Structure 1
């Protein structure tokens, strides 16, 4: 069997992991969850969830990946806990489930990028979304996005994923900063900043039961937790890398992108509509596209330029996350069966394209796929990983996380106990609330 690939540099790993984390969760969902869940109140809870739950959990996935030096499924067998391969299998299946409809949204983004250049959606943004989000055109763009994803993964770690994300992630940050600066110059932006940056702690106290599960799930989704991606990426790391330093930087950069996206989207909506418009308040798959398109449509020629820049950022972010999800199953098959990387990447890309045609043909399917992933699959996968790291692997996890970091036993042990206690409780509560929500309103499209 060929020698396993590694990252060419620490920067390559960090940018690839950030690229995995920075995706539609940050730019598609974060601004609108913020808009519908109390503005700055949601932002505060999300930041706490990302730091107190997301960071310890991502370190746990790093420990598994680097310790095993193997893909997310076989890692547990190498760690002498074969019964826990269910964790890796659950992550792999969750990632594939998400990628099947994620690619459909990536196709929409591509379509809106082209539509921004021509102004195609300016006359009737809602009708335009309806025409491009379902049917044969949506299937075709879904296929193009999936093909691009498989093509990057086929080139491998150093020549494919690392080189692509070294270009993608800095581009995302630069373009978002530029758009946020532009948004700050718009008349009437003060109301948007007050909504987005001035939390009402009384609102948090009164609505804690609805805000917390959304904020925690958003933290998991935006950090690519529970999908096998971070286990797989960490498996290409060397022992001299500091997991604490890398994990902290990844969480900070990922969170910064989400906050920047909010500084672009929220001001645009408030300046154009005076509040969050009905299309955004209603949520759903089309919220980003309809509401932001309505804002760009009122700006004339400037709206075309801004639309190209904005949807360009979203497309790059979507692609950087998609390649990490496809890499999970590709690494598993290449490691375990020795098959060709290009053949594996394109084969699974084809399977996911076929599954995703359901979501491309009818957005009701996409909403259902997303609800099940967000409310059940992700928190369940994260919960299994947290239990394994905290209560099964325990002392060995402490030994692994100390490598390359210069961290003492006391600090590493404190991390372990955070995973064993409040992180575990937080993830369990999120899963319970998600299952309850799905049970109360299943919205199954085929019933």
Structure 2
């Protein structure tokens, strides 16, 4: 077996982790979910979830990854708990599942870069999205996007992933910041800022009854599962990505400091994306939450079609979305690639190509019909991600326990008290919060009938 790769620099690891987190989850899903589930109410729950649940869960994944120095599946066996490999298998499977439809959306982004430059969608943005979001065109661009992802992952950790994300992540922040300043100058943007940044406190309520099982009601019933899962999605938790990336980290790095950096930067980029997208929707008089998975594309295309320099601004915006999509997609493919390379000593380029082909096939239904894409996404948000994060927390908190604290503090200047506090939060409050999220998600899935595929 070949020698295992590592990150060349600490900055490379942080930017790769941020790049994994900062993707379509932030620029496509976050503004869409925020506008659909209450604006600032969703934002408040999301930020609380990112810091209160996402940060402890990320630390758990970092600990597992670095201590084992292996991929997300083999890590549990090396730590002496082979029976818990199911957590790694679940995470890798979820990454595979998400990337299959994520790549389809990446294909849409490729189409919209060209459509912006040519003005192809200016006449009728809604019809344009309908014509390119499903069918042969979507399938071809799904393949092109996956080829780009495979090419980067085939290059390896240092020469492929680290080099790419060092360019991608700063570019995302700079271009999004410039767009946010531009949107601030537009007439009619003010109501968007109010909707996004001024929470209605009356909406932050949840009640429970027992008859005999717990049943929840109140404004937060629908917000919590999507906001918490949005934190998991945008932080790349529950997909094996952070376990895999942390497995390339040296013992002299502070996992605590790195995780805080990743969570803060990721949340900042999500808010920045909201400051671009949501006010722009209000400029066009678009009702929040309308349009489904294509809301971002249709609404922004309408805005770019009617605003000065729309072709240039549109091309720049969708170029940012493409960079973000690639930075996350490569982390998901790396999870599965790492497992095969570690376990069988296979050549990385060949493994990445074969796995990319399988992911492409799984994504074919989503490319052919957006109803399938919505179904894949809904199951990921409301069932798979909370279940996977729950497994990681149960293992790190209750099975691995004290050795996890020692690993967390290795390379850090924090004292034992910080590690013990993290452990007990992960064992109690955080697990209860994830259980609540999972229960609400399951409740919604069955009530809405969303558990049934669109056959």
Give the TM-score normalised by the residue count of structure 2. Answer: 0.95
Partner of 1:241: 253
Partner of 1:398: 405
Pairwise CA distance, 1:93: 0.2
Partner of 1:383: 390
Q: Secondary structure at the match of 1:281?
A: coil
Partner of 2:210: none
Partner of 2:208: none
- Misfit runs of 4+, over 4 Å: none
The 1-side partners of 2:395 and 2:302 are apart by 47
Partner of 2:99: 99
Partner of 2:18: 18
Partner of 2:273: 261
The 2-side partners of 1:196 and 1:363 are apart by 27
Partner of 2:244: 232
Pairwise CA distance, 1:44: 1.1
Partner of 2:301: 293
The 2-side partners of 1:190 and 1:135 are apart by 38
Classify 1:16/1:95 alpha carbon distance in 2 versus 1 (closer, same or farther; 3 Å): same
Per-residue Cα deviation, 1:101-130 (whole angstroms, up to 9, x for no partner): 100000001001110111111111111011
Pairwise CA distance, 1:281: 1.9
Pairwise CA distance, 1:445: 4.3
In 2, are the aligned partners of 1:68 and 1:78 still within 8 Å (CA)? yes
The 2-side partners of 1:371 and 1:121 are apart by 28
Pairwise CA distance, 1:406: 1.4
The 2-side partners of 1:140 and 1:94 are apart by 23
1:428 aligns with 2:440: no
1:327 aligns with 2:334: yes
In 2, are the aligned partners of 1:375 and 1:431 still within 8 Å (CA)? yes
Count of equivalent residues: 442
In 1, are the aligned partners of 2:100 and 2:360 still within 8 Å (CA)? yes
The 1-side partners of 2:448 and 2:279 are apart by 32
The 2-side partners of 1:113 and 1:214 are apart by 29
Pairwise CA distance, 1:74: 0.2
Pairwise CA distance, 1:203: 2.0
Structure 2: segments with no counterpart, 5+ residues: 206-217
Pairwise CA distance, 1:190: 2.0
The 2-side partners of 1:197 and 1:358 are apart by 37
Partner of 1:440: 447
Q: Secondary structure at the match of 1:328?
A: helix
Which of 362, 370, 374 pairs up with 2:377? Answer: 370
Classify 1:68/1:283 alpha carbon distance in 2 versus 1 (closer, same or farther; 3 Å): farther
In 1, are the aligned partners of 2:222 and 2:444 still within 8 Å (CA)? no
Structure 1: segments with no counterpart, 5+ residues: none
The 2-side partners of 1:372 and 1:272 are apart by 31
Partner of 1:207: 219
Pairwise CA distance, 1:210: 2.1
The 1-side partners of 2:65 and 2:237 are apart by 13
Which of 422, 426, 432 pairs up with 1:415? Answer: 422
Pairwise CA distance, 1:229: 0.2
The 2-side partners of 1:442 and 1:374 are apart by 15
The 2-side partners of 1:22 and 1:169 are apart by 8
Pairwise CA distance, 1:283: 5.0
The 2-side partners of 1:296 and 1:340 are apart by 44
Per-residue Cα deviation, 1:72-122 (whole angstroms, up to 9, x for no partner): 000000000000000100000000000011000000010011101111111
RMSD of equivalent CA atoms: 1.1
Which of 297, 306, 309 pairs up with 1:302? Answer: 309
In 1, are the aligned partners of 2:375 and 2:454 still within 8 Å (CA)? no
The 1-side partners of 2:326 and 2:234 are apart by 14
